[in-house]
Amino acid sequence: MLEQGKSSIAEVSALPLRGEDGAIRAEFVESAADKIEARDVAGLRALVGGLHEADLGDLIEQLDPALRPRLVELLGIHFDFTALTEVDDAVRDEILEELPAQTVAEGVRDIDSDDAVALLKDLPKEEQTEILEQLPPPERVALAQRLDYPADSAGRRMQTEFIAVPPTWNVGAAIDYMRETTNLPERFYQLYVVDPDQHFLGAVPLDRLLRSKRPVSITELMEDRQCVHATDDQEHVAREFERYNLVSMPVVDADERLVGVITHDDVVDVIQEEAEEDIHALGGVTRDEELSDTVWTIARGRFNWLLINLATAFLASSVLGLFEGQLQQMVALAVLAPIVASQGGNATTQTMTVAVRALATHDLTDANAWRVIFRELAVGFLNGLAFAVITGIAAYVWFKVPGLGFVIGLAMICNLVAAALGGILIPLVLNRLRVDPAVASSPFVTTVTDVVGFFSFLGIATLWFGLR
């Protein structure tokens, strides 16, 4: 009977997690769900106990919401709470709300401080306080201070586990200290040199330390004082990592005292979050929308954006009303007008996407703005000429109306040039006004191309054909 049980657990542990496409296999999720419902702790531990926190997080998202907190409770001390930093915010908050405060506090104590802050930051203040009260005073105070930093700041992202040494030490003393100290960070890449008041003086990379003789002074190996402040925005931190190819960076407070360190894995998360935020904003989706959100939450978050677009659509349609008589005289105009506007909308989306991203990465600045504007104008004019020929020929073949091809071709050039100007100038102006161009650009540029497209096509047609 015992041998049979061992065989069953071995078969469970050999069950493949992911398929060839990289997604978690449905069979694995079903097996985990069955073991949770059967309260099979041994089988569940054999199945998921050795998973990386990222894989465990993906599994949690695939489970039925009712089973997620039960998974945490069944695994007990064997559950790695770092996995909850890998799931959607909505999923994480639902799980934490279901778990007892004592369970969450015990889990928080076993993970890095930056992961602990990530778990607690979105919870209501009362729940944060309840969980923090279960922690020993030193850990409670440290976490509470971290949670007081502004959202999306370096202080929220940093971890407070680091190695600080005095400038009077030599290489031998630093190595002996690391060998003899038991509570070192799990992973570290630099030693930080501080004075008796914890003021940051410089950093010593591990590779330089290990290549040096024991008598060499720490100050001889110390590199420059490059650091970020705890209140700096996380986007600024990410740009510093990208610009200088950093692996880690010290964080100081307003008095230049060393308070934490940010590592490359934190910055990868920042880059992903900021990219998702820009993509969501360009599509009219709130920055915190997740796949796990409810229908009501998603619908409510998208409603305002759709309402703005509806208003701009009425504005564009009002241009058609100005040419009601001309449209009645020539049906071809009504058929072809949306083509001009649509092509302009697509072109301006391309320009706007490039401009918004360049502004976000600080690649588009006052120094090169005019060069980029003229470049986009040239691109718009060149594509306008190409599509003027294509649409002009197609319009003539379709309706056999002399001059109609010239009219739509000229309108196409006007609209693609306007699309280029709108796609670059509107994000630049909004950025100068300190309005997020990713959020606000889309309805403005769409309105510009619709209005210019309809007005240029119908206006040129009115003049060309002498319509009234």
Q: How far apart are CA 167 and CA 189, in angstroms?
A: 18
C-alpha dist (Å) from residue 350 to 262, 354, 428: 35, 6, 15
Query: Does 440 or 277 have the greater pLDDT score?
Result: 277
Task: Name the superfamily (CATH) of residues 2-152.
Answer: MgtE N-terminal domain-like (1.25.60.10)
Which pLDDT score, from 0 to 100, does residue 296 have?
Answer: 79
- Region of poorest pLDDT, from 263-267, 365-369, 430-434, 438-442: 438-442
- Report pLDDT digits (tens) over 131-140: 999 998 888 8
pLDDT band at 434 (very low <50, low <70, confident <90, very high): confident
How far is 367 from 344, CA to CA, in rounded Å? Answer: 28
| Residues 353, 146: Cα–Cα separation, whole Å | 35
pLDDT tens, 298-320?
777 777 777 777 787 787 778 87
Q: How many CB atoms lie within 10 A of CB 42?
A: 13
pLDDT of residue 358: 87
64 or 11: which leads in pLDDT: 64
What mean pLDDT is predicted for residues 14-33?
Answer: 86
More confident residue, 359 or 466: 359
Average pLDDT over residues 362-383: 91
Helices (H), 148-216: 154-157, 171-180, 206-210
Residues carrying CATH 1.10.357.20, the chain: 295-465
Average pLDDT on 57-69 reads 93
Residue 432 tokens, joined: 């100068």
The fraction of the chain above a pLDDT of 90, given in percent, is: 48
* CATH tag, 164-264: 3.10.580.10
CA nearest neighbour of 142 among 109, 171, 104:
109
Residue 195 pLDDT > 50 = yes
Burial (0-12, 13-18, 19+ Cβ within 10 Å), 441: buried
| Higher pLDDT, residue 90 or 306 | 90
Residues of the chain with CATH 3.10.580.10: 164-264
Looking at the chain, the domain(s) classified CATH 1.25.60.10 span 2-152
Average pLDDT over residues 141-168: 92
pTM confidence score: 0.68
CATH architecture of the domain formed by 295-465: Orthogonal Bundle (1.10)
| 9-33 mean pLDDT | 78
φ/ψ of 456, rounded to 5, equals -65, -45
List strand residue ranges (DSSP E) for 75-211, in order.
Answer: 164-165, 190-194, 200-205
Q: What is the mean pLDDT of the chain?
A: 87
Per-residue pLDDT band for 425 (boundaries 50, 70, 90) equals very high
On the question of pLDDT at 284 being above 70, the answer is no
**CA distance linking residue 26 with residue 391, whole number of Å:** 49
pLDDT of residue 4: 42
248: region left, alpha or beta (phi > 0 left; psi from -120 to 50 alpha):
beta
Nearest to 9 by CA among 50, 42, 51: 42
Residue 283 CA to residue 232 CA, distance in Å, equals: 28
Predicted confidence at residue 158, as pLDDT, reads 93
Per-residue tokens: 150: 């502004």
For the four alpha carbons of 270, 273, 279 and 285, in that order, the dihedral sign comes to negative
Supply the pLDDT for residue 9: 46
pLDDT at 6 over 90: no
Q: Taking 90 as the threshold, does the pLDDT of residue 440 lie above it?
A: no
